[in-house]
C-alpha cells in the first residue's frame, strides 16, 4: 500500500535541519539511504553522489510524457531509447512509459491530472498547465522537491547552488522547486540556434554585404526582387518569406527589434512595457507596409505551410526568412548542394535598433526551460528517495554524457575535449536522418530532463554556414526581452482574459495596416483601443512578477 505523500511532505521541512552525512550500508532494497519521509530516521542521509546501482531489487517507475516524432521514426517510444535502456541497467530502476498520441498532449494531460490514479512521474511543459505548477502543487497533483533534492539529488543540487540564475529560474516565487528541468547552462550558445537567414550566394552574386540595419536590409531585399539573383530571367524571387503562416503578418515581428520593440511585453531598463503601443512600433508598421507594397514580402507569408516553404527554398525563390540552424539551414544544405553547389545560406543578426544595438526577439539567456519531470502525489512514499536519485542520475557526469551523446563507441566518440558523432548518426544504416538517429540514442536533439551540452551542437553543425549563424546570433542582446517571470494564478487569469482580446485585435490591425487595407494613421486609434482593453493592468501584473523575480 502506498503511504500518504501529503503527510510526508508536512514533516520534511522539520527534517531539513537534521540533515548530515552518514556511512552507507546496504539494505535488502538498496543503499542505506535514510528516507526523508521517515521521522524516526536520524540522522538523515545526504548523498554526495548517486550510487550505482541505486537499488538491489529492481522496480519500475510509471512515467508519462509526450512522444517525439524524431524518436518514433524508428522506435515505439522512450522505453526503446538507448540512453534509457542503459540507465535502467546501471540504476536497477526501469521506466514504464505512457505516451499520449502525438499532438494531443495538452488534452491528455488535462484528463490525466484530473484522475485519482496518477503515474509516479510526469514530464511536461509546465507553462501549459492550467494554473501552472503552483496550482498543481496546491491541488496535490505534484509535490515540492526541495528537501528531497537537498538529500538525494547531489548533481542537480550542485548546479543550483553554484549558479544564482539557475536558482532564480528553477524556483517558484515562494522558493519551491517542483521539477528536474531541461537545463541550458551554456545558455547563449544553445539558445542562439535560430534567427534571420539569408541567401549568401545571392549576396555574393550581387556584390552585396550582409545587411546590418533596416536601411541596408531594404537595399538587399530590393536587389533580390529586381536583379534576378536566381538567374531564371524572371522577377519571381520572394525577398522575405516565412514558414507555417499564422493567418496574419505577425511573422514580421522577427524584424521588429530593428525599431527597438518586440511584438509583445518587453523591458525598457527595469520597466515592463507593451511593445506594440510604443512609438517604435509605428515605425515598424510603416516600414513593413512599404516593403509589402513593393513586393519585398511574400504575399503568402500568412499561409505558407511546410511543403509550400520547402518548395520556395528548394526552387531558388526564397531570399531571406527566419529559421533554425537545423530545419532552416542544414535541411536545405543537404537538399540543395548536390544539384546547386553554389547554394549557400548565412545567419544574419537582427538589424540594429536606433540605439545601435542588435536586439533578439526572444530571451537567449534562459538557463532553465519550462520543460521538466515532476513527481506526482501518486508515487509511493517509500520509493521517493530512489526515484529522486534515478532522476538526478541524468545530471551526473556519466548520465550527462549518456543523455547528451548516447553510447560511447556506438553513437559518438571523444576527440580530446570535443565529441564526434559516428556514422551510426550521420550515415545511419537504417536510412534515418541524423536527428532521428540521435533521438534513438539521446535526449539532446529533443528535450528532456538534462543539462543540454553545447558539444552536441558543435558536433551536429557540420556546415560552415550553420556555425557562422550560431556565432552571429550570439551577438544579439536580450535586453528587450523579459526574464522567465511567473504570474500568480490570479494574475494569470486576469492577463489571459485581457490579452486574448488584445492579441486578436492587434494581429488583425497590424496585418491590415501592413497589407494596405488600413492607413498608418490607424496606429493612434489602435493604441487607444488597446489601452481601453486593459493593457495597463496586464503590464502592471507583469511588472509585479518581474519585481518578484528580481527579489528571489
Instruction: Summarize pLDDT for 267-285 with one digit per residue, the tens.
Output: 999 999 999 999 999 999 9
pLDDT digits (tens, 9 = 90+) for 310-333: 999 999 999 999 999 999 999 999
Q: Within 13 A of 231's CA, how many CA atoms are on the CB side?
A: 7
The answer to whether the CB of 261 falls within 8 A of the CB of 281 is yes
| pLDDT score for 339 | 87
Q: Is the pLDDT of residue 234 over 80?
A: yes
Residue the block writes with cell 509546465: 126
| pLDDT score for 43 | 55
pLDDT digits (tens, 9 = 90+) for 473-514: 999 999 999 999 999 989 999 999 999 999 999 999 999 999
Dist. CA 527–CA 523, nearest whole Å: 6
pLDDT digits (tens, 9 = 90+) for 138-184: 999 999 999 999 999 999 999 999 999 999 999 999 999 999 999 99
| pLDDT score for 338 | 85
User: Residue 550 CB: number of other CB atoms within 10 A?
Assistant: 11
3-state secondary structure of 552: coil
pLDDT digits (tens, 9 = 90+) for 50-82: 999 999 999 999 999 999 999 999 999 999 999
Strand ranges in 216-330 using DSSP code E only, listed in sequence order:
238-240, 265-268, 271-274, 318-324
Contact residues for 235 (Cβ-Cβ < 8 A; gap 6+): 225, 226, 228
User: Residue 48 CB: number of other CB atoms within 10 A?
Assistant: 10
| pLDDT score for 45 | 85
Dist. CA 246–CA 113, nearest whole Å: 30
In 92-199, alpha helices (H)? 105-113, 132-138, 146-152, 154-162, 164-170, 187-191
The 3-state DSSP composition of the chain as helix, strand, coil percent (nearest 5) reads 45, 15, 40
Residue the block writes with cell 508515487: 379
pLDDT digits (tens, 9 = 90+) for 461-484: 999 999 999 999 999 999 999 999
Which whole-number Å values give the CA distances from 202 to 199, 207, 223, 469, in the listed order? 5, 8, 9, 17
Amino acid at each position: 500500500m502506498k503511504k500518504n505523500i501529503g503527510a510526508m511532505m508536512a514533516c520534511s521541512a522539520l527534517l531539513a535541519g537534521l540533515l548530515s552525512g552518514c556511512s552507507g550500508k546496504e539494505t535488502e532494497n538498496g543503499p542505506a539511504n535514510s528516507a526523508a519521509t521517515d521521522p524516526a530516521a536520524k540522522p538523515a542521509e545526504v548523498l554526495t553522489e548517486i550510487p550505482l546501482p541505486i537499488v538491489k531489487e529492481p522496480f519500475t517507475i510509471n512515467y508519462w510524457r509526450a512522444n517525439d516524432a524524431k524518436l518514433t521514426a524508428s522506435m515505439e517510444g522512450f522505453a526503446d531509447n538507448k540512453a534509457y535502456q542503459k540507465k535502467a541497467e546501471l540504476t536497477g530502476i526501469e521506466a514504464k512509459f505512457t505516451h499520449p498520441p502525438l499532438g494531443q498532449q495538452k488534452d491528455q494531460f488535462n484528463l490525466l491530472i484530473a484522475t485519482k490514479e496518477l503515474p509516479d512521474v510526469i514530464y511536461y511543459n509546465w507553462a501549459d498547465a492550467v494554473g501552472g505548477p503552483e496550482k498543481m502543487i496546491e491541488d496535490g497533483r505534484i509535490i515540492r522537491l526541495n528537501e528531497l533534492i537537498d538529500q538525494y539529488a547531489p548533481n542537480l543540487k550542485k548546479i543550483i547552488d553554484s549558479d544564482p540564475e539557475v536558482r532564480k529560474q528553477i524556483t517558484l516565487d515562494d522558493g519551491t522547486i517542483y521539477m528536474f528541468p531541461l537545463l541550458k547552462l551554456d545558455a547563449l550558445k544553445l539558445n542562439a540556434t535560430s534567427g534571420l537567414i539569408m541567401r549568401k550566394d545571392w549576396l555574393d552574386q550581387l556584390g552585396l554585404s550582409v545587411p546590418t540595419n533596416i536601411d541596408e536590409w531594404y537595399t538587399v531585399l530590393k536587389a533580390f526582387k529586381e536583379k534576378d539573383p536566381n538567374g531564371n530571367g524572371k522577377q519571381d524571387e520572394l525577398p522575405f518569406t516565412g514558414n507555417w503562416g499564422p493567418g496574419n503578418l505577425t511573422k514580421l515581428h522577427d524584424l521588429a527589434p530593428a525599431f527597438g520593440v518586440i511584438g509583445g511585453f518587453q523591458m525598457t531598463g527595469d520597466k515592463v512595457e507593451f511593445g506594440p503601443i510604443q512609438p517604435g512600433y509605428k515605425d515598424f508598421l510603416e516600414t513593413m507596409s512599404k516593403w509589402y507594397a513593393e513586393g519585398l514580402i511574400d504575399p503568402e507569408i500568412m499561409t505558407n505551410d511546410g511543403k509550400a516553404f520547402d518548395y520556395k527554398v528548394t526552387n531558388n525563390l526564397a531570399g531571406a526568412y527566419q529559421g533554425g540552424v537545423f530545419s532552416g539551414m542544414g535541411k536545405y544544405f543537404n537538399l540543395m548542394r548536390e544539384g546547386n553547389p553554389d547554394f549557400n545560406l548565412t545567419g544574419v543578426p537582427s538589424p540594429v535598433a536606433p540605439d545601435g544595438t542588435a536586439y533578439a526577439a526572444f530571451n537567449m539567456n534562459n538557463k532553465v526551460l519550462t520543460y521538466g519531470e515532476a513527481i506526482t502525489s501518486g508515487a509511493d512514499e517509500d520509493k521517493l528517495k530512489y526515484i529522486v536519485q534515478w532522476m538526478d542520475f541524468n545530471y551526473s557526469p556519466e548520465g550527462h554524457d549518456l543523455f547528451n551523446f548516447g553510447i560511447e563507441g556506438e553513437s559518438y566518440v571523444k576527440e580530446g575535449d570535443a565529441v564526434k558523432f559516428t556514422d551510426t548518426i550521420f550515415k545511419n544504416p537504417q536510412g534515418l536522418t541524423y536527428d532521428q538517429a540521435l533521438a534513438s540514442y539521446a535526449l539532446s536533439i529533443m528535450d528532456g530532463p538534462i543539462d543540454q551540452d553545447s558539444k552536441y551542437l558543435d558536433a551536429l553543425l557540420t556546415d560552415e554556414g550553420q556555425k557562422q549563424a550560431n556565432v552571429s546570433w550570439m551577438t544579439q542582446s536580450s535586453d528587450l526581452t523579459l526574464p522567465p517571470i511567473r504570474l500568480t494564478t490570479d494574475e494569470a487569469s486576469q492577463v489571459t482574459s485581457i490579452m486574448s482580446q488584445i492579441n486578436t485585435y492587434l494581429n488583425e490591425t497590424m496585418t491590415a495596416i501592413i497589407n494596405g487595407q488600413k492607413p498608418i494613421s490607424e496606429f493612434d486609434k489602435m493604441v487607444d483601443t488597446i489601452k481601453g482593453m486593459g493593457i495597463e493592468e496586464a503590464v502592471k501584473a507583469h511588472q509585479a512578477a518581474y519585481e518578484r523575480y528580481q527579489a528571489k
